[in-house]
Chain A
Amino acid sequence: MELTGITSYLAISIVLFLAGLLTVVSKKNIIGIFMGIELILNSAALNFAAFSRLTARNLEGQMVSLFVIVLAAAEAAIALALLLAIYKRYRDINADHLTTLKW
């Protein structure tokens, strides 16, 4: 077993994913939750690239990583625009306080 093998990349990916999961569930600030989503997407893209290089040995996985990065950027722009709109209206970005749509 070598250090730069597939297992190391998968382990790093696990750490990124679990950190993202903890962040998404536990943070109160919407910006914090958004950072968790970015971490999860990052770990998925890293997994695709690692499998593409080390087991499948072609470029298809890297292609998926590329699209994941593009979608993450699009999601970031929309999420932050929504965040600014929410802040303008309620002067608050605590996710627990935004309960207008909740019964």
Chain B
Amino acid sequence: MNIGLKELVFLCVALLTTVPCLIVVFSRNVLYSAFALFFTFLGTSGLYFFLDAEFLAIVQVVVYIGGVSVLLLFAILLTKNVDEIRKTNMTSAPRMALAGGAALVLLGSFVYALLGTHWARTGTPDYPATTTKGLGDLLLSKYLLPFEAASVLLLAVLVGSLVIARRSVR
């Protein structure tokens, strides 16, 4: 295995994705968890660039960082007193022990499956040079029905979240 510039950058992006995850799990301050989640999303976007999925990477930045992270920060702002922010994201110790055991078992089985499987290349060898055009073609031909269903879903979400979160008017 030779380590070139590409491998070094990949390693940095992988660390940027995985290390903040642990902060999300173990931080006691919900604000730190939110900012760590921001970096995880950024790292995932970088991994999409490594996978030649540039459209997906941009969507990840726009939707997760521009949408979900900001929404999370607003939720934190609107729900909790800032003066007790230091212990707003406590973990429950018995459930943490339970989940830790389950996670260890799962980790063992995942690593066993990962190392024991040979991932063959089954599809066609001609991966397209730019994915955006291909994705657009697929969206408007084979995946037209899910696309329309997603648009209806987003409309329902828009109306529904307004109805749920509005101030009740008498």
- Which A residues are in CB contact (< 8 Å) with B158? 77
| Pairwise interchain contact B37-A59, C-beta atoms closer than 8 A | no
Q: Looking at the complex, which one of A18, A27, A84 makes contact with B103 (CB distance below 8 Å)? A: A18
Determine if A42 and B135 form an interchain contact, defined as CB atoms under 8 angstroms apart.
no
Query: Per-residue 0/1 for A13-34: is the Cβ within 8 Å of any B Cβ (1 yes, 0 no)?
Result: 0111011111101111101101
Binding site for A on B (CB under 8 A): 1, 3, 6-7, 10-11, 14, 17-18, 21-22, 24-25, 30, 33-34, 37, 40-41, 44, 47-48, 50-53, 55-56, 59-60, 63-64, 67-68, 71-72, 74-76, 78-80, 88-92, 95-96, 98-100, 102-103, 106-107, 110-111, 114, 119-128, 131, 134-135, 138-139, 143, 146, 150, 153-154, 157-158, 160-162, 164-165
> Number of A residues contacting the other chain (C-beta, 8 Å)?
69
Quick check: B75 and A83 within 8 Å, CB to CB? yes
Q: Which residue of A lies closest to B167 (CB)?
A: A88
**Chain A neighbourhood of B139, CB < 8 A:** 63
Q: Which of B25, B76, B125, B154 contacts A22 (CB 8 A)?
A: B25
Whether A53 and B6, one on each chain, are in contact in the complex, defined by CB atoms closer than 8 angstroms, is no
Q: Are A93 and B10 in contact (CB under 8 A)?
A: no
Is B119 a contact of A28 with CB atoms below 8 Å?
no
In the bound complex, do residue B90 and residue A29 qualify as a contact, i.e. CB atoms below 8 Å apart?
A: yes
| B153 → chain A closest CB, angstroms | 6
User: With the chains together, A54 CA to B56 CA distance in Å?
Assistant: 15
* Cβ distance B76 to chain A, nearest Cβ, rounded Å: 6
Tell me, in angstroms, the Cα distance from A16 to B19 when the chains sit together.
Answer: 10
How far is A71 from B156 in the complex, measured between Cα atoms in Å? Answer: 12
Q: Which residue from B3, B55, B98, B165 sits with its C-beta under 8 Å from A85?
A: B165
**Max chain B C-beta neighbours (<10 A), residue from A38, A66, A78:** A66
| Interchain CB contact (< 8 A) of A66 among B3, B59, B114, B126 | B59
Which residues of the other chain, A, contact B111 by a CB distance below 8 angstroms?
Answer: 14
| Residue A101 is within 8 A (CB to CB) of chain B in the complex | no
Judge whether A53 and B18 touch: CB under 8 Å: no
The reply to whether A67 and B146 form a contact with Cβ atoms under 8 Å apart is yes
Alpha-carbon gap, A46 to B157, bound state (A)? 24
